[in-house]
Amino acid sequence: MAVIGAHVDQSDPIAQARERGADAAQIFLGDPQGWKGPEVRYPGGAQALKEAAAEAGITLVVHAPYVLNVATTNNRIRIPSRKLLQKQVDAAAEIGAIGVVVHGGHVLATDDEEVGFDNWRKAVDQLEAAVPIFIENTAGGKKAMARGVAKLTRLWEAVRSADGGDAVGFCLDTCHAYAGGEPLAGLVSRVLEATGRIDLVHANDSRDAFDSGADRHANLGTGSLPADELATLIREAGAPVIVETPGGAAEHAADIAWIRESCD
């Protein structure tokens, strides 16, 4: 059975995971909407968190801030994004996380998408990845780098050509895929054709309809995703699973139980 966890507050991810019956915890290291460098709030710091997680058997995942956009043509966003991503990767290594989830980002409506894919290549080229990054597919936008399998194919062609490109992982968010216009049936094999790998699944239901382009997560079995197809996808992906669903410990525990029961 796969490792299953939830996105939780970073102050004590070990206690939060235990409360949810989880064996993994995804956290932000600092403000998800801010540019300030990573910050470990666990008492005792990074080393203490690393040791506590190892002792408790909890897999840690870091989610990079949403403001990061290494694809953009705007220098004042792209350059700080590369620097912040490096800092997130370094901090993730210090706490013993398996990787850093980072959104695919986007270019402006008037931009050529190829410039965005090439900016990804440059970002990977420059990154010293002590732990891998997991690029996550996103739901919205016409010029997003990771909405839909066709874009993933082009993104991975660019990323693979970078120094260190082989280490770049993929995070498949089920809400983003469905709301972004990818049917869940057969999605694992289509993604694998594009990226060659799935390192993490974000198992989220969607409050919005297929191809809506909206990004509003729902608890599993309560949204628009076909439940049987969601369960099949999680099983076929064969990767650690994180729920980023509404509510607190009780709701997350129910979502984790849903995965354990329906994917058994």
For the CB of residue 136, give the shortest distance to Zn ion in the complex, in Å: 6
Please count the helices (runs of H) and the strands (runs of E) in the chain: 9, 10
Q: Interface with Zn ion by CB under 5 A: which range of 18-26, 106-114, 159-167, 199-207?
A: 199-207
For the CB of residue 210, give the shortest distance to Zn ion in the complex, in Å: 18
Q: Which is nearer to Zn ion, 52 or 230 (CB)?
A: 230
For the CB of residue 185, give the shortest distance to Zn ion in the complex, in Å: 20
202 touches Zn ion by CB under 5 A: yes
CB 147 within 8 A of CB 139: yes
Longest Cα separation, the chain: 51
What distance in Å separates the CA atoms of residue 118 and residue 129, rounded to the nearest whole number? 18
Q: Which is nearer to Zn ion, 50 or 202 (CB)?
A: 202
Q: Interface with Zn ion by CB under 5 A: which range of 41-49, 52-60, 147-155, 169-177?
A: 169-177
Structure tokens at 184: 């869940």
Among 173, 182, 199, 205, binds Zn ion (CB under 5 A): 173
For the CB of residue 231, give the shortest distance to Zn ion in the complex, in Å: 18
For the CB of residue 131, give the shortest distance to Zn ion in the complex, in Å: 18
What distance in Å separates the CA atoms of residue 145 and residue 170, rounded to the nearest whole number? 13
What distance in Å separates the CA atoms of residue 24 and residue 214, rounded to the nearest whole number? 27
Q: Which is nearer to Zn ion, 94 or 208 (CB)?
A: 208
Q: Interface with Zn ion by CB under 5 A: which range of 44-52, 148-156, 170-178, 186-194?
A: 170-178
Q: Which residue is nearest to Zn ion (CB)?
A: 202
Enumerate residues 6+ apart whose C-beta is below 8 A from 241. 2, 3, 4, 5, 24, 200, 201, 202, 203, 234, 259
Residues in the chain: 264
Binding site for Zn ion (CB under 5 A): 173, 202
